[in-house]
Amino acid sequence: MINIKSGDDNIFAGRHMRDAQAKWDRLSMSDLAQIKTKAQLIARVEERYVLPHEVAAQDVEIWGLARRF
């Protein structure tokens, strides 16, 4: 599970932002720069890929397992 606190600054600093854009190419750098929480990332993936919430949440969780935030 991704351990992101609600008060964290942008969760996609540097390499994580590039990794996220490589995974979800429909997310712009502007989208990623605005995302500060896991919930926001899930919502944006849902929106851009027209996925059910559960699918987007699982995709984000799996992607986050290999990264340390």
Name every residue whose Cβ is closer than 8 Å to that of residue 48 and which is 6 or more positions away in sequence: 24, 26, 27, 31
The string of DSSP codes covering 7-68 is T-S-S--THHHHHHHHH-TTS-HHHHHH--SHHHHHHHHHHHHT--HHHHHHHHHHHHHT--
Kindly indicate the confidence band of residue 47, based on its pLDDT and cuts at 50, 70 and 90: very high
Dihedral sign, Cα of residue 10, residue 14, residue 17, residue 20: negative
Q: How many CB atoms lie within 10 A of CB 39?
A: 13
* pTM of model > 0.85: no
pLDDT recorded at residue 4: 47
5 falls in which pLDDT band (50, 70, 90)? very low
Higher pLDDT, 9 or 62: 62
